[in-house]
Structure 1
Amino acid sequence: MLRAAVRALLDLVYPPRCAACGEPVAEEPFCEVCAGALEPVPPGCDRCGAPGPGPACGACLAAPPAFDVVRAGGLFGGPLADAVHALKYGGRPDLARPLGAWLAARVPLPPGAAVVSVPLGRARRIARGYDQAALLADALARAAGARGRRLRGVLRRARETAPQVGLGRAERARNVEGAFLAGPAVAGRDLVLVDDVVTTGATADAAARALRAAGARSVTVVALARAE
């Protein structure tokens, strides 16, 4: 009750604003205009979620990923891309809460699944001041009623990697190969692996491989956005 009262007071003093354009909003995270411009992920590959003819893309047929499926709140671009950039690069960790709730309303979690996040590298976490995927996973779990199944620290970076931005599919895969390690707490569990954006799926695949190696039963990737 105290937390709700404090939040109501903060909303009165600092009205919530659209995560994309910054305009005041009645309900976070998007204003009416930006919400109307959001695009759903088109039909595509049943495994990685890449938009296309489906049901399986060439990449997944050639080298099946370690995760079971990718689910995303929307297609990367427009207001959703602006919101992701604000969360990720704009020093707006506060956006994780409304964006996580928004995502939970659009992507149902598998029953009983535990929630983990793709960990940010140490250097980037220090430079940024927070791990946006971890904050997003916290908010998603809370909004989805899975707060007690939020697992922290069970997936970590085994080594630092270069940023994936600007790299091609093969380069992305090489960059994150063997980059993650998972602990025994995931053994025998169905997992939801949370990240902000899925592009080629290379990072999610590398993280899922570590989770599978530690005994995870299934891995569902959930992201704010899916790139074309």
Structure 2
Amino acid sequence: MPTAPDALMLFAAGFGTRMGALTKDRPKPLIEVAGRPLIDHALNLARAGGARRIVANVHYHADQVIAHLAQEEVAISDERGALLETGGGLRAALPMLGPGPVMTLNTDAIWRGPNAVERLRAAWEPGRMGALLMLVAPEKALGHAGQGDFTLDPEGRLIRGPGYVYTGAQIIDPAGIETIEEDFFSLNRLWDRMISEGRLFGIVHEGHWCDVGRPESIPLAEGLLDER
């Protein structure tokens, strides 16, 4: 049976502009929810789910994130020279993540329910999947507006369209990422390629998920933690 990926990238480099004044003097990953920085919640989820090699990218207030992670076994992908977006950021971090498929996880979400990282690793099928995205039904996505990002077919393949919300957790095979000429690009470029090949898949989170992208989402996230 194929070994599930155990390398994971934490996306922690963004400006967090939707947080307004809260990110004037600190990066969004260090905003606290229930007394703990968001990045610590993400680290706990990753490690409990089976991640063993973890890399975090940094850009905005990078020194603060680096100092916070100094006592953690987390490698730093330094993007202070230029913010590379999700695709460029993952490509830059691949030497630290190692060969083969990797996991990625956003640091601005709070989860309730089964461990999303563990479920992704259990469901990963490298023979037919280019990427496996964790989705959630819109009615279980707190702090998030919209009708969803992807439609799921009976075999688990994804196409774009209203249906399920992407949560920021996935396993992805970065093969081919080196052929993209731009330095700054989104992982959507790889996803679109995989959709055309029938290799983009998804599974649905069975609990609730909160997008902590705005100040008003913080009490929603704390409510999820209280219920958990």
TM normalised by structure 1 equals: 0.28
- Judging by fraction of residues, say which structure has more helix: 1
Q: Which one scores higher on RCO, CA 8 angstroms, separation ≥ 6? A: 2
- Judging by fraction of residues, say which structure has more strand: 2
TM normalised by structure 2 equals: 0.28
